[in-house]
Amino acid sequence: MERLLEINDLSVDFHTRRGLLRALSEVSLTIRRGETVCLVGESGSGKTITSKAVMRLLDYENGRIAGGRIRLDGLDLTALSQNELRSLRGKKMAMVFQEPMAAFDPVYTIGYQLVETIRRHETRSKKEAWEHAVSLLARVGIPEPRIRMKQYPGELSGGMLQRAMIALALSCGPELLIADEPTTALDVTIQAQILQLLQELKEEFRMSILLITHDLGIAAEIADRVVVLYAGRVAEQAPAAELFARPHHPYTRGLLDSVAALDTEKGEKLRSIAGSIPSLSALPDGCLFHPRCPFASDKCRNEAPPLISRNGRAAACWHTDKLLTATNAEKGSARQEIELLSEKLILAEKNPSASPFESPEASPDLFQVSGLRKFYRLKGSLPGRARAHIRAVDDVSFAIRRGETFGLVGESGSGKSTLGRVLLQLEKATAGRIRFGDRELTGLRGAALREVRKDMQMIFQDPYGSLDPRWNVGDIIGEPLRVHERLTASEKKERVARLLESVGLDASYANRYPHEFSGGQRQRIGIARAIALSPKFVLADEAVSALDVSVQAQVVNLLQELQEKLGLTYLFIAHGLQVVRHLSDRIGVMYLGKLVEIAPSRELFLRPAHPYTKALIASIPSADIGAKRERIALQGEIPSPARPPSGCRFHTRCPLATARCKEEEPELRTIGSEHVAACHYPL
Amino acid sequence: MRESATAKAVLQKRKWELPALRSSGRRFELSRLFVAGAVAVIAFIALCAIAPQWIAPYSPTEMLADSLMQAPSAAHPFGTDYFGRDVFSLVVYGSRDSLFIGLMSVVVGGLVGGTIGALSGYIGGWFDTILMRIIDTLMTIPGILLALAIAAAMGPSLTNIVLAVASSAIPGYARVMRGQTMSINGRPYITAARSIGVSRFGIFRRHVLPNSLSPLLVMATLGIGSSILAGSGLSFLGLGLLKEIPDWGTLLSQGRGYLTVAWWICTFPGLAITLLVLAVNILGDWLRDRLDPKRKEA
């Protein structure tokens, strides 16, 4: 195959206050025509910088190509002027960004922006360009493209906008499509749709794709070849199948473990990579990865390993052989484990009463929720007239047991976060009852409510926003203590130090400020604060979604450890099913404000009863390369909670829907022990 | 041939940041120089206000009958006025009232406006609606007109000038503070504080207020300059103080009749105002940068 993009020894420098920083050093990669190459690595590894170097957008961000060449179809991009590059951008190479909301100009219609782009590169009449744009929108799977053309970006959902963004990128038939985390901001179900679309388009338009992602599952799904970056250097590159089967670099192996481990059941400790990616201003000597590497030796500490090619793949590691023997040894034992597990399952099939999944003893419930509703009045609807409501949570009943982890999953817009916030009384329920232990929460106000808050705490999604930037870490963690307990300054300091240590941070961090910490460390600070009062219940709302996979695994381990030590009960909310599976005893699935299925975690994954659950499970990208399954991708998007469909709310997207589903709303019915689902035709 | 819309979006976004970032190294040094200069100017004017007798060569009331309307010279660096007073000494002595008006009206205006804005933004609902409509009404009256009306109604005194200037600045402070309070109140760390049971007032005092204050502080610093100008304006229009020692605005006002024959009488007080306002503004900018917690070095 012909080479389309060739990057040789690319180095990039950035000007900063502290002088020049080398963000990329000697990165080489090639993309052949029609090939999909994935660039993976944690945040800060230089993925986006590489893509911006190719587009030469670096020049606008204080960056400079310090060495090396980028050849696109024989043309040296590093030598071209911005004027010359402009004629290439869009025409020969185009880019799709992570935030579809931010990439469109909100004051122009989608159609205007598409037509403008087309006419800039090709001499076409307005009418022709308009027709071309409509056909592009239709091609990327946007329903009613003629109407969408006249809409503004704010009127489209994130998934639709990302499709429109792809249409925009395709509008002039580029040969290279660079997609920078194109699905990170989207729901798993939509992610699956977009990935499939990219695959189809690649064939159809005969493009090459450079896909940047932190998610190895996505790479496994669509990549032909994978390049792993670490701290601005190529750690490893290999054909996808080989990379996933046998990583040659401990970093790749670590990443794979962090992801793959999430598929495992509760209780096991996740394998993670210790520490976090080094800052560019303080890179370690020798191999950049050695401080986090289990194989590190003196040689690694002193000498940087070169990228050594063998059999069409390459890795920069002194200990590839050691790693391979270790992997082989483990593979054997893993296979045995799987066999054992499947035996257990076969037994279970034969004898359903003797469940191998020891359900936690029927402990009394900590939370009992019945008939819970939370409606928001739509802005603009007058009081007194027929009211338009967003039905964020609509008639939900369930219980959380003492000491268990209850997982809650669903697409965005399903009402899972609202449910969590109503449970903690951060928002008042519109109707329904919530019992916490032996207290009714819905009526509590003022001091009585503040008293109960001692027992229920929350870990937030955004580790950047949820810590007051003006407070030092000691004060942040000490705030609950200050509010609820009378402690002297030295007692408080002592407690804070112990809390910091219990979440794996140094006690001396108490005097530092939040912005000095990485995302994972901040999340640990948030956890320390949440457990400061030894609560009974902790709500973790997307607590690890904003973190890198390797760090995710660390935080998940910490959460499990703390649960065992402190006897916590968790409600773990996430849009990603994998993490929920690993952490939860039982899982509830939400769709448009309704709980559609509740089951023990393993049972849910093995025998989902609701078609929606099944579709959610199917849309998880798997890092297991062997399992490139045919997907039951969920069609369409979640409808607006202001006008939920009649009958079963899922019927508009359900492959099995019948007339009955359209009219009659299904009740939650018992499917098996502990397993309920709201479906007329459970699977 | 031109670039794609996507690339263009990025390009346009970057264009604005380009010049500043490119020369960030050198600009940094230069800005420090400006700040040092501003501090020196303010320190000197403050000294003038505190101890004018150390600096001024003459008494501000002393009339030198033999040298009326002398052009600037070694003996009289700023010249003399129509009574034979030394203009340099007048400017030095006049700094006290000007500075007082500038500082006090900002303090009063900032406190009142800030309090209204913060309460309005934090409490919200009907309280907010009513307060803000009052503020809106105040805003429809031009600041200098409002100050004029107050000064005219209450008569000329230092306190009244401060009140007049302060009240014309209140709507601005209230608006800024309200917006900031509301935005801070929506941050996740406020929910975080609520979720651990901090009381409503506790959240306001410990989280909302400290985080909302920096724009107000910056605005107030910048406001010192415009308050001095407004105070001088009132004096210039004849609603200022009629005292033995005129402030800068009065100096300007009294000197304007002689502009064609003795330009120095009102030029130097004017320059003094310009210099002080400039210095305070530079300091305000610097303060804005420093108040960003992300740039606080540990």
Listed in sequence order, the DSSP H helices in A223-275 are 240-245, 250-260
pLDDT at residue B15, as a whole number: 41
**Per-residue confidence band for B298, with pLDDT thresholds at 50, 70 and 90:** very low
State residue A530's pLDDT score. 92
In this prediction, residue B44 carries a pLDDT of 92
User: Can you name the residues that pair with A39 across neighbouring β-strands?
Assistant: A212, A227
Tens digit of each residue's pLDDT (9 = 90 or more) over A180-204: 888 877 888 888 888 888 888 888 8
Of A91, A466, A513, the CB nearest to B189: A466
pLDDT at A366 over 60: yes
What pLDDT sits at residue A331? 64
Mean pLDDT of B217-245: 79
Write out the CATH class of domain A1-88+224-279+287-331.
Answer: alpha beta
Which residue of chain B is at minimal alpha-carbon distance from A85? B3
What percentage of chain A exceeds 90 in pLDDT?
22
Contact A58, A65 (CB under 8 A): yes
8 A C-beta contact, residue A41 and residue A214: yes
Contact criterion met (CB < 8 Å) for A17 and B298:
no
| Residue of chain A minimizing CA distance to B7 | A89
Which pLDDT value is given to residue B183? 92
The closest of A274, A299, A298, A278 to A288, measured between CA atoms, is A278
CA distance B104 to chain A (A): 28
Q: At A583, is the pLDDT very low, low, confident or very high (cuts 50, 70, 90)?
A: confident
How far is the C-alpha of B46 from the C-alpha of B283, rounded, in Å?
Answer: 15
The residue-averaged pLDDT of A516-520 equals 84
- Give ipTM to 2 decimals: 0.74
- Tell me the chain A residues in contact with residue B206 when contact means C-beta distances shorter than 8 Å: 479
Q: What's residue B143's pLDDT?
A: 76
Nearest C-alpha in A relative to B296: A513
Which residue of chain A has the CA closest to B199?
A: A450
* A3-16 vs A176-180, strand pairing mode: unpaired
Angle at A136 between CA A134 and CA A137, to 5 degrees: 65
Q: Which of B118, B109, B93, B177 is nearest to B143 (CA)?
A: B109
Q: How far is A592 from chain B (nearest CA, A)?
A: 24
pTM, full prediction: 0.78
**Cβ within 8 Å, pair B18-A121:** no
What are the structure tokens assigned to A39, written together? 């660039």
Q: What are A560's two structure tokens?
A: 């499990």
CA A551 from centre of chain: 12
Contact B293 A513 (CB under 8 A): yes
Per-residue pLDDT, B246: 83
* pLDDT score, position B125: 87
A341-366 core/surface letters (b: 16 or more CB in 10 A; e: else): eeeeeeebeeeeeebebeeeeeeebb
CATH superfamily of B78-291: MetI-like (1.10.3720.10)
Residue bearing the bigger pLDDT, A269 or A15: A15
pLDDT of B235 > 60? The answer is yes
Contact across the interface for B5 and A120, Cβ inside 8 Å: yes
Look at residue B1 in the predicted model and tell me its pLDDT: 36
Q: Using the predicted structure, report yes or no on whether residue A324 has a pLDDT greater than 90.
A: no
Q: What are A395-437's pLDDT values in tens digits?
A: 899 999 998 999 999 888 788 889 999 999 988 899 999 999 8
Q: Which of A352-366, A374-388, A627-641 has the lowest mean pLDDT?
A: A352-366
Which tokens belong to B158? 């230092």
Tell me the shortest Cα–Cα distance from B149 to chain A, in angstroms: 41
* Distance from the A635 Cα atom to the nearest Cα atom in chain B, whole angstroms: 28
Residue of B nearest to A533 (CA): B196
Least-confidence region, from A260-274, B90-104, B137-151: A260-274
Tokens representing residue B273 in the block: 């105002």
DSSP string spanning A572-617?
Answer: EEES-HHHHHHH-SEEEEEETTEEEEEEEHHHHHHS--SHHHHHHH
Strand residue runs (E) in A299-364: 308-310, 313-315
- Write the pLDDT tens digit of every residue in A293-322: 888 888 888 888 888 888 888 888 888 888
Residues of chain A with Cβ-Cβ distance to B197 below 8 Å are: 449-451, 453-454, 480, 483-484
Q: What are phi and psi of B284, to 5 degrees?
A: -60, -45
What is the Cα–Cα distance from A55 to A85, expressed in whole angstroms? 8
- Which helix H or strand E contains A490, and what residues bound it? helix A489-502
User: pLDDT value at position A337?
Assistant: 56
Residue B24 reports pLDDT greater than 60: no
Condensed to tens digits (0 to 9), the pLDDT of residues B206-220 reads: 999 988 988 888 888
Domain positions in chain A:
1-88+224-279+287-331, 601-621+634-682
Mean pLDDT, chain A, whole residue set: 84
φ, ψ for residue A347 (rounded to 5)? -55, -45
Residue B296 has pLDDT above 60, yes or no: no
pLDDT at A476 over 90: yes
For chains A and B, CB pairs below 8 A equal: 136
The model's confidence at residue A344, banded by pLDDT at 50, 70 and 90, is low
